[in-house]
Structure 1
Amino acid sequence: MAKANKQAKPVQRQEMSGIERLGLRVSSMINHPVAQIQRWVTIHRLDTDGEREWEEVIGLLNETDGIDMTFNDDESVTLRWEASAVEDRPEEVIEPIEEPAPF
């Protein structure tokens, strides 16, 4: 059998911008289950986080209603938030209806 002559398509990797990378990291930290339970998280600025990116993400967080920000001495930022109305509602438990066996 002859091998099919397939040309490999070059894989284009699109690099994330610094702001996208920082935004994804911060979002991941905020949405982490432990942070959601305790309703706070501390975000540390990494060496790879540029000044412009850091200021833009922190500015967006500062404009967000319901988030209290504390700027720490080590240049980290602690975010705190209250439970939203959806989180305050009791969970609805739906019990399956048992149907009689067909035999």
Structure 2
Amino acid sequence: MAKRQVVSAGRQEMSGVERLGLRVSSMINHPIAQERRWATIHRLDNDGDREWEEVMGLLSETDGIDITFNDDETVTLRWEASADDERPIEMVELAEEEPAPF
């Protein structure tokens, strides 16, 4: 039997820059990276030279991000806490709920 390929009519494939940008964004937004305020980005075999240079250029131009190009060809991003991150967490006491009437 012949295999059928399912093709979505309106679906467009992501460009290399979009795919790399999404991966870097995911790494930056990871809870551990947010807590530590740094992330190390590894270049994958399928990251093209043009895409890598474009995304690294955008990151280096972004205010508040320090970028370090490491000897092992990884890139370490560091950032400072935003004003929202530095606010102390307030504890709220909940009022006792009234028992259900039934």
Q: Distance in 1 between matches of 2:61 and 2:14?
A: 24
Q: How many residues align?
A: 95
Q: Following superposition of structure 1 onto structure 2, how do residues 64-103 of structure 1 map, counting pairs within 5 Å? A: 64-101=62-99, 103=101
- 1:69 partner SS: strand
Counterpart in the other structure of 1:47: 45
Asked whether 1:11 is paired with 2:8, we answer: yes
Q: Following superposition of structure 1 onto structure 2, how do residues 25-36 of structure 1 map, counting pairs within 5 Å? A: 25-36=23-34
Q: Aligned-pair distance for 1:92?
A: 2.6
Counterpart in the other structure of 2:60: 62
Q: Deviations over 1:15-39 (max 9, x none)?
A: 1100010000000000111111111
Q: 1:38 aligns with which of 36, 39, 48?
A: 36
- 2:90 partner SS: coil
Give the RMSD, CA atoms, in angstroms: 1.8
- 1:11 partner SS: coil
Counterpart in the other structure of 1:20: 18
TM (norm. structure 1) is 0.82
Q: What is the aligned-residue identity percentage?
A: 72
Structure with higher Rg: it is 1
Q: Deviations over 1:63-84 (max 9, x none)?
A: 1111111111121110111111
Which portions of structure 1, spanning 4 or more consecutive aligned residues, are displaced by more than 4 angstroms?
A: none
Unaligned runs of 5+ in 2: 1-5
Q: Distance in 1 between matches of 2:40 and 2:55?
A: 14
